[in-house]
Chains A and B, each alone.
Chain A
Amino acid sequence: MEDPYKVLGVDKDASDADIKKAYRQLAKKLHPDLNPADKDAEERFKKVTVAFGLLGDSEKRQKFDRGEIDASGAETPTHQYYKEYAGGENAQQYRSDANFEDLGDVFSDLFRRRGADQGQHLKMRGRDVRYHLSVDFLEAATGQTKRLTLPDGSSLDVNIPEGIKSGQTVRLRGKGMAGSGGGPAGDALIEVEVRPHPMFRRDGNDIVVDLPITIDEAVLGGTADVPTISKKVRVTIPKGSSSGRILRLKGQGLKAQGANKRGDQLCVLQIALPGEIDGELEALAEKWREAHPYNPRENM
């Protein structure tokens, strides 16, 4: 369909008078009765007439300029708004990941009924599919294979790499939507969330724990068995340890991804008083402090 402005040889912002003038000049030149032998002229004259039929009528011209009708005068299809396509076979790539299972059984069955991709003529890679998987702190620390159940009932075995951080994604090649026309399947992207542990904390590739010690252990030193992510380790509490002192257990942390190095476990000593302060302890403390005052706050 040719642009009627081009057919009449005028600019888009030509006035109505200009358009009329252009038509008259072309009509005079091309009229079949004035050019009986010229076949081309007749074709062109038809086009010019049609174009003027559109642009010569000011209401039609305005509609055309706004895009409501095309050059033949036909209404342009309203298939321009996305809602016409939503949910249709050409818009499967926009299906939301929203899960309606909380609305009841009826809805989870409906949700599961996804139509298979209509085969298209082109060879296309299937879409990636995103999942979310929550794992324990210790599962993430040591690495684990987890089974992920998919909405359609099938399951996927996912290898959680040792030392993975919360928020990282595991990519399983070829486990996404099927491709079409012989194209490869997309990937499954699994975002891993690592749940916190009541005792172990992560700091980079190190593990941090608070290690409570008694007053007497703080003063006199001692030994303690400390759990790590793999085993129990016996540590020596140095004589005269204050709260906050860190004992470093080399190699008891997490494996740095892609390296053979391991982080450490840091045990932060915390002096813990007994649950109930008995009279004997009080008396001891009072007597001691008279003879041995000291100020830990002198630099504040």
Chain B
Amino acid sequence: MLKEQEVLSVIASVSDVQLRVWVSKDWVRPAQDGSTPVFNEADVARVRLLDTLINQLEIDHEATPIILSLIDQIHDMRAQMRRVSEVIEEQPDDIRRTILDLMSDGS
């Protein structure tokens, strides 16, 4: 778990003001240890993502939460899809066959 200063030293292209703004906008959600934000690995990766979107790709603040929301929704959907796929794989052959055949007919 990293503190604010440590995150800033690992990701040099992000300023302390930026990081605080992004936390205040809930784009990165560090856990709170009392009043100190504490960043885990996923949070740090999130900060890198924001750095890419905002500093390198120059996406503005209006579009950023839309993009983050879409990314998060996609990840959730991928996880669900993976799970459905796992369940189908576990089925006996005839059921798997039936499902796969049905999926390749239609729209």
Contact = CB atoms under 8 A, between A and B. Distances in A.
B48 to A, nearest CB: 6
B76 A84 contact: no
Interface residues of B, number: 27
Contacts of A107: 80
Interface string A84-99: 1111101101111010
B83 A110 contact: yes
B79 interface: yes
Given A110-B83, A124-B32, A127-B29, A95 B48 contact: no
A106 B34 CA distance: 40
A12 B52 CA distance: 24
Contacts of B73: 96, 98
Contacts, number: 75
A232 B93 CA distance: 71
B41 A90 contact: yes
Contacts of B34: 123
B29 A82 contact: no
B21 interface: no
Name the residue in B34, B42, B83, B84 with the highest tally of chain A Cβ atoms < 10 Å from its Cβ: B42
| Interface size of A as a range | 20 to 34
Interface in A35-92: 79-88, 90-91
Contact of A88 (B32, B42, B48, B77): B42
A186 B62 CA distance: 27
Contacts of A111: 80
A122 interface: yes
Interface of B: 1, 29, 31-34, 38, 40-43, 45-46, 48-49, 69, 71-73, 75-80, 83-84
Closest 10 CB pairs of A and B: A85-B42, A86-B75, A96-B72, A91-B42, A93-B29, A90-B42, A82-B45, A82-B49, A124-B31, A98-B73
22 contacts: A85-B45, A86-B42, A86-B72, A86-B75, A86-B78, A87-B76, A87-B78, A87-B79, A88-B42, A90-B41, A93-B29, A94-B29, A94-B46, A95-B76, A96-B69, A98-B73, A98-B77, A107-B80, A111-B80, A120-B31, A123-B33, A124-B33
Given A82-B48, A90-B41, 18 more contacts: A79-B41, A82-B46, A85-B45, A87-B78, A90-B40, A90-B43, A94-B42, A95-B72, A96-B73, A96-B75, A98-B77, A100-B80, A110-B83, A120-B31, A122-B1, A123-B34, A124-B31, A124-B38
